Amino acid sequence: MYRCCNIRGFLRFLIWLILLLAILLCFFSMKKNSANKAVSRHGEEDVFLPVIMYHSISDATPNDYIVTPKQIESDLKYLHDNGYTSVTAEELLDYVWHGGSLPQKPVLITLDDGFNNNYTNLLPLLEKYDAHAVVSVVGSYIDDNPNDGSFYPYLTWGNVNKMIKSGRFEIGNHTYDMHYMDGGRRGVKMLPCECPDDYAEAVNSDIFELQRLIDEKCGITPIIFAYPFGYCCKEIVPILKENGFLITLTCYEKPNYLSRNTDCLFELNRYNRSGLYSTVEFMKKVLSK
């Protein structure tokens, strides 16, 4: 009798243990799903937004910062054939700030530094694939352009205006003259022993100069800021917001998930498009959630 009761007790314990394990498995599974499919406070599933970062588009030998026209056309065709739609900064703002909608599979195409080949080589491809791109320019690179018919790799103000008028490009601020890592400073990152007031004055002065120039030369005021080399710090965020920027671009290679929270457009992650990989290899990384 004792042995029989002991067996029944053991079976009851085993059943409760199995139930407890099932509940725990359920809980961790739900937690994992909620992490993979973030849901905003409005009850909507957040929108996956891959962001691609290009630099120079040239027939030169491809490297980490150069792709050929054939490579970027292959990228655009891949995105088009797989149902992705390139979106503009204005569409992102409308979605986040005003309750607008986005295409089912949005992607943001960006280019840094303002190479002239972004205009000459990319515009025909954007028109061919009905796509759009953000080009973040460095003001001093444009101002130092001799514009005398000699070869120079960066845009002129005239070509910037043509890009804007095409309706295929949006222009971002990449600093007037802080796109360097010498002299101790790294891009717009605050120096270790720098006084906050001195830092704010230096960064404000540089960023405002390019905002002023773009307004003067092109009649627009950029709302996009791309961090030089991806270097940023917490002190720069309020400065950028005070200067009217609504979207900022980093160099962290991670996925983005958009909600209706306006802060989600700050520090968007981007994948650098190295010319050393095929379209399929690169897109497999970029489009993975």
pLDDT at 35: 43
Q: What are φ and ψ of residue 109, in 5° steps?
A: -105, 125
Q: In terms of Cα–Cα distance, which of 53, 161, 66 is closest to 111?
A: 53
CATH class, domain 47-286, is: alpha beta
Mean pLDDT, residues 83-90 taken together: 98
pLDDT at 155: 95
Contact 268, 250 (CB under 8 A): yes
pLDDT exceeds cutoff 90 at 26:
no
The string of pLDDT tens digits covering residues 256-287 is: 999 999 999 999 999 999 999 999 999 999 99
The string of pLDDT tens digits covering residues 158-188 is: 999 999 999 999 999 999 999 987 767 888 8
pLDDT at 211: 97
Burial of 217 (0-12, 13-18, 19+ CB in 10 A): middle
Strands (E) located in the chain: 47-49, 51-54, 56-57, 66-67, 85-86, 106-113, 133-137, 169-173, 224-226, 247-249, 256-258, 271-272
> Do β-strands 106-113 and 247-249 pair in parallel, antiparallel, or remain unpaired?
unpaired
**What is the C-alpha to C-alpha distance for residues 180 and 74, in angstroms, rounded to an integer?**
31
Contacts of 261 (CB under 8 A, 6+ apart): 40, 41, 96
- The ranges assigned to domains in the chain are 1-36, 47-286
| Out of 9-13, 26-30, 48-52, 91-95, least confident range | 26-30
Give the chain's mean pLDDT. 88
| Band of residue 32 on the pLDDT scale cut at 50, 70, 90 | very low
Helix (H) or strand (E) holding 211: helix 196-218
The string of pLDDT tens digits covering residues 183-237 is: 678 888 988 889 999 999 999 999 999 999 999 999 999 999 999 988 888 999 9
